Amino acid sequence: MKTDDLVAPLSAGIGPVDFRVVGRRIALAVAAGAAISVAAILIGFGPRTGLSIAGACALLGVKIAFAAAVAGVAAVDLIRLSRPGGGSKPGALLVILPFLLIVALAVVSLGAAPASHWNRMVAGDAWLECLVSIPVIAVVPFALAMWAVRQAAPTDLRRAGAFAGLLAGGISALAYALHCTDDSLPFVAVWYGGTILFCTIAGAALGPRLLRW
First to last CA, the chain: 29
Q: Torsions phi, psi of 52, nearest 5?
A: -75, -15
Sequence-distant (6+) residues with CB within 8 A of 177 are 48, 60, 63, 64, 67, 192
Q: In b/e form, how buried is each residue of 22-37, taking b as 16+ CB within 10 angstroms?
A: bbebbeebbebbbebb
Sequence-distant (6+) residues with CB within 8 A of 99 are 70, 189, 193, 197
Cα pseudo-dihedral 38, 39, 44, 50, rounded to 10: 50
Sequential pLDDT tens for the chain (213 residues): 556 555 555 455 554 545 577 788 999 999 999 999 999 999 999 988 877 777 788 889 999 999 999 999 999 999 988 887 655 565 667 889 999 999 999 999 999 888 888 888 898 888 899 999 999 999 999 999 999 998 888 888 999 999 999 999 999 999 999 999 888 899 999 999 999 999 999 999 999 998 887
Element (H, E) at 9: helix 3-11
Contact 171, 71 (CB under 8 A): yes
| Tally of CB atoms within 10 A around 211 | 22
